[in-house]
């Protein structure tokens, strides 16, 4: 169960148009890379905005695993398990000047 249960992914507002508006979606996998592949399969338009073609996380996006940046853990190889919470954080420019 630990390896196959759901991992929740918090989708930021700017990317919710690719998940049909869903703020949280469920994926499976034993590593972050696998979880992101599953995310890309479920939401093809979202996948390409988070990872490069070769599966690396794009440089203007951060994925946090239970509150810690995957870049500070083991990157795409970071182990994940059921119950973990992934958070996708894109750079946002808005200060609402105009």
Q: Which residues bind other proteins (CB under 8 A)?
A: 10, 12-14, 23, 49, 56, 58-62, 64, 67-69, 71-72, 87, 89-98
Nearer to other proteins, 1 or 91 (CB): 91
30 burial level (CB within 10 Å; 0-12, 13-18, 19+): middle
CB 50 within 8 A of CB 39: yes
Nearer to other proteins, 2 or 91 (CB): 91
Distance of alpha carbon 38 from its chain centroid, rounded?
A: 10
- Give the whole-angstrom CA distance, residue 64 versus residue 86: 5
Nearer to other proteins, 2 or 67 (CB): 67
Task: Compute the least distance from the CB of residue 76 to other proteins, in Å.
Answer: 12
């Amino acid at each position: 169960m630990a390896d196959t249960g759901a991992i929740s992914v918090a989708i930021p507002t700017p990317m919710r148009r690719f998940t049909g508006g869903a703020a949280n979606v469920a994926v499976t996998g034993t590593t972050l890379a696998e979880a992101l592949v599953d995310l890309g399969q479920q939401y093809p338009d979202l996948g390409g905005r988070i990872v490069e073609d070769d599966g690396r996380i794009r440089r203007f996006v951060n994925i946090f695993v239970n509150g810690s940046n995957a870049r500070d853990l083991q990157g795409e190889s970071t182990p994940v398990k059921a119950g973990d919470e992934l958070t996708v954080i894109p750079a946002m420019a808005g200060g609402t000047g105009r």
